[in-house]
Amino acid sequence: MANTLKDLSASLRETIKKAAAYTVGLEREPYAVSGVLIGGDRVLTASHLVPDEGIGVLMPDGATVKASVAGRDPINDLALLRLEGKGNAPVPPSAAVEVGDLVVSLKRDPFDGVNASLAMVSASGAKLKLGRAAVLERYLQVDTERFPGTTGGPIANADGAFAGILVFNRRMGAEVVIPADIALARAKLLEEKGSVKRPYLGVRSQAVKLPRGAQETGLLLVTVEKGSAADAAGLEVGDIIVSFGGTPVLDHEALVGALAEKGAGAKVDVQILRGGTSRTVSLTVGAQ
């Protein structure tokens, strides 16, 4: 007679063994941090817990290697590290997961090595607003309680493949995970450019009702920062933004989402109302 629990335990051990091969720890006081070996001399981890210098990385073989920051993506809370004298780590297999999939969260610390916990993907979403100037392109949520040291560490699927990385945010009682494909794409961008800037317009605004038309509300500009992208494009206090790059702007959240989608440096046409007259203004999205 089959022992289902025993089979599950054996499968979990194999999953953890595979994922442990690309799970690293970062020496940081007073809180531990984990990271993901993504090939060569590269480590991906959570940016907000990583100092600019003096980084030691605890490797799967037990060695501690010095590392430096190669780039940061504050929107997705990711930091790319480069290991000193260690450039032969294999690229871990990666995979997408869906709501309902079981996953394993891992961390590595100097006291008891790899720790793991079982979780389920509870949600998959897009356009998660973080503060006033950042939006996650896509994210996962897992129903696990985050233990000290798991931040920056990987989420692995049932086969032990890299499925995502735990970052800073907690939403509706669940942990937020950056999916592996986005994390790896951001790592490549950081390797090429060194940073991912937040898009910045330089305005303060409030939603106002529009005259009868295709949409009910727009954004009234109440301040325009001198020297900002908005100022350079000729936007003025009293202008009402109706659309941004073809996206209707009903409120501030819609503007933040449109900014995040276009990104810093993008050239965008903005439809505004000025003195009751519609006009189009072209601008280049700034960075912060």
**Domains within the chain, CATH numbers bracketed:** 199-287 (2.30.42.10)
Spatial separation of the C-alpha atoms in residues 50 and 152, rounded to whole Å: 10
At residue 156, the pLDDT reads 97
At residue 38, the pLDDT reads 96
At residue 130, the pLDDT reads 64
* Residue 173 in this model has a pLDDT that exceeds 70: no
At residue 146, the pLDDT reads 75
Mean pLDDT of 10-37: 91
**Confidence class for position 174, pLDDT limits 50, 70, 90:** low
At residue 287, the pLDDT reads 80
- Surface-to-core class of residue 3, CB atoms within 10 Å of its CB (0-12 exposed, 13-18 middle, 19+ buried): exposed
* Residue 128 in this model has a pLDDT that exceeds 60: yes
At residue 24, the pLDDT reads 97
Spatial separation of the C-alpha atoms in residues 241 and 83, rounded to whole Å: 46
* Residue 39 in this model has a pLDDT that exceeds 90: yes
pLDDT, averaged across the chain: 88
**Confidence class for position 252, pLDDT limits 50, 70, 90:** confident
Amino acid at 131: G
- Surface-to-core class of residue 32, CB atoms within 10 Å of its CB (0-12 exposed, 13-18 middle, 19+ buried): buried
**Confidence class for position 181, pLDDT limits 50, 70, 90:** very high
**Confidence class for position 170, pLDDT limits 50, 70, 90:** low
Q: Which residues pair with 80 in a beta bridge?
A: 44, 71
Mean pLDDT of 194-222: 85
Contact 180, 167 (CB under 8 A): no
Spatial separation of the C-alpha atoms in residues 54 and 56, rounded to whole Å: 7
